[in-house]
Amino acid sequence: MARMRAVDAAAAVLAKEGITVLFGVPGAAINPLYSALKKHGGFEHFLARHVEGASHMAEGYTRTHAGNIGVCLGTSGPAGTDMITGLYSAMGDSIPILCVTGQAPRAQLHKESFQAVDIETIAKPVTKWAVMVREPELVPRVFQQAFHVMRSGRPGPVLIDLPFDVQMAEIEFDIDTYAPLPIYKPSATPAQAAKAVQMLNAAQRPVLVAGGGIFSADASDKLQAFAELTGVPVIPTLMGWGVIPDNHPLQIGMVGLQTSQRYGNASLLASDFVMGIGNRWANRHTGSIGVYTKARTFVHIDVEPTQIGRVFGPDFGIASDAGFALDLMLEAAKALKAAGTLRDRSAWAAECRARKGEPSMQRKTHFDQTPLKPQRVYEEMNQAFGPDTRYVSTIGLSQIAAAQFLHVSKPRSWINAGQAGPLGWTVSAALGVVAARPTEEVVAISGDYDFQFMIEELAVGAQFKLPYIHILVNNAYLGLIRQSQRGFDMDYCVQLGFDNINAPDTNGYGVDHVAVTQGLGCKAIRVHRPEEIQPAIAQARAWIKTFRVPVVIEFILERVTNISMGTDIDAINEFEEMAQHGADAPTAITLLD
């Protein structure tokens, strides 16, 4: 046993739990913990410009690898409330991050003291666990429990609030004998796995819906092996995109109202059996439940028992870690194959592949006009970026179009804030991704509004040499909201363009993103014409090698382009391109069951 400050014990526990990277903003109430981190050593700290940005950096860091846990630090009061959006985003997507806040001394609580807020209560709805540590002796054990909670069952975020005097108090603690707590994850039983495989085997036209829980379980290889053994086609969700390569013969496209392909929706509608693994039946994936479930049998496998039946009741549910369930289902399917009773799915898989290759199921991308159409930008990105690229995006028409047109080949190569979709997430999350994967090519994708929300975080990339390419598609509009307002016959409060008196060459598009980016210590280039796209990407790569900072490529788009989407997966509105500047005529494309 050794006598030390409570924060020294906390720093030692962080190290024992494998934490080496931290994101945060120091302040008076969290300075004791910072002093312990400095004293202990072995931590790399990235100083954010906004605490919300730090929380999203922690998210990006976690999302790159199944074993990572991003840690975000901030002082008391508004620093804690700034973290809430990051906690919400992490909670919605089952991402374990640890947020640690300083707090006023215990004697000042509930007295309206400066920057003393009940962050424990505020954070509870958006965390797996939020706790203020009221006794110094509890500090190391609360940190130990935090890692156990984050990693067990359905992963998720934790917030620990540390009053100043609790941090500074001396305690007895033996770090040499410390060990992380065992992680608990539920597992399917052999009987459950056998029944699920039997139900799949009995179906005529089965599909697998693969969600982000497969990444949490680090089980992409098992999912692909199960699909290949059974011959059953795979539909990744947005959060599961990359679980099987886009060009794999059993990957038949994504399904949904927005981030989907026409052939993916058509194949789901033609199926009679759906096995969901590590997914949550998100509403942007399913649309109306009546359409999605009609004439289909469902098996749902999820690590969180209360997720099964939350959206609709499946015909059979299994509470299990995706990896554990896939291990057992692989064994059950192998037994059927050995007995000669595993059904041949080659004809059904070929039917789905035929849809995927059918020209009428493709959306047009090759447009030559100026201003650019966004579809052309994504077409050129597919040519420029290879299977090792990691894409980062969050929300808006930029993200929806990216999911419709880009290609992803590897697990965790599409990093997206799926449930929350907070504007401003992309820059910060991309920096967290680069901090975790400094030698890999990272490409972020934003519309102009998402980019402007937390643009200051680019300075973090410049200061700490976190290079990546940021694709900025600029139409000077809140494009997704503008498209949504079509239902109200209005275009109201969504235009971002203005005549910039300091940058007349922005031609009414408003903010000079190139100048702002350069002012923050990064590099930027503006693209107007299709023939400039590939040279710009080549220039960005050269700058990254030379300067090791983020590089922004701004694409000036036509002001209005409607992107395919709808209210049900059998009634997606496609848009026939009619004119250069976005006079898009909607065409309802109905996909029949």
Pairing of strands 44-47, 70-74: unpaired
HSE-CB for 450 with a 13 A CA cutoff: 31
Tell me if residue 427 is catalytic: no
What residue type is 153 in one-letter code?
G
Which one from 13, 21, 25, 466 is the annotated catalytic residue?
A: 25
Residue 106 token pair: 């215990």
Tell me if residue 25 is catalytic: yes
Which of 415, 457, 22, 444 is closest to 241 using CA atoms? 415
Which of 466, 472, 468 is closest to 445 using CA atoms? 472
CA distance 24 to 403: 31
Q: Do 462 and 431 contact (CB within 8 A), yes or no?
A: no
Which of 134, 137, 131, 138 is closest to 159 using CA atoms? 131
Pairing of strands 21-25, 70-74: parallel
CA distance 456 to 50: 8
Which one from 481, 494, 496, 560 is the annotated catalytic residue?
A: 481
CA distance 552 to 112: 44
Residue 368 token pair: 């030559």
If you write DSSP's letter for every residue of 295-352 in order, what string do you get? T-EEEEEESSGGGTTTSS--SEEEE--HHHHHHHHHHHHHHHHHTT-SPP-HHHHHHH
Which H or E run contains 171? strand 170-173
504 burial level (CB within 10 Å; 0-12, 13-18, 19+): exposed
SS3 37: helix
Q: Do 217 and 244 contact (CB within 8 A), yes or no?
A: no
Residue 183 token pair: 């992680």
CA distance 124 to 141: 19
CA distance 243 to 275: 15
For residue 440, give the DSSP letter: S
Which one from 214, 423, 445, 514 is the annotated catalytic residue?
A: 423
Residue 320 token pair: 């299990």
Torsion of CA 97, 101, 106, 108, to 10 degrees: -140
Q: Do 220 and 413 contact (CB within 8 A), yes or no?
A: no
Q: Do 73 and 82 contact (CB within 8 A), yes or no?
A: no
SS3 408: coil
Q: How far are the Cα atoms of 186, 292, 305, 586 from residue 319, in angstroms, in the given order?
A: 7, 22, 5, 43
Return the bridge partners of 587, or none: 574
Q: How far are the Cα atoms of 76, 99, 418, 425 from residue 421, in angstroms, in the given order?
A: 26, 19, 6, 8
Percent helix, percent strand, percent coil in the chain, to nearest 5: 45, 20, 40
- The count of other CB atoms within 10 Å of the CB of residue 114 is 10
Which one from 37, 100, 406, 478 is the annotated catalytic residue?
A: 478
Tell me if residue 481 is catalytic: yes
Q: Do 257 and 567 contact (CB within 8 A), yes or no?
A: yes
Catalytic residue numbers, as ranges: 25, 51, 423, 478, 481
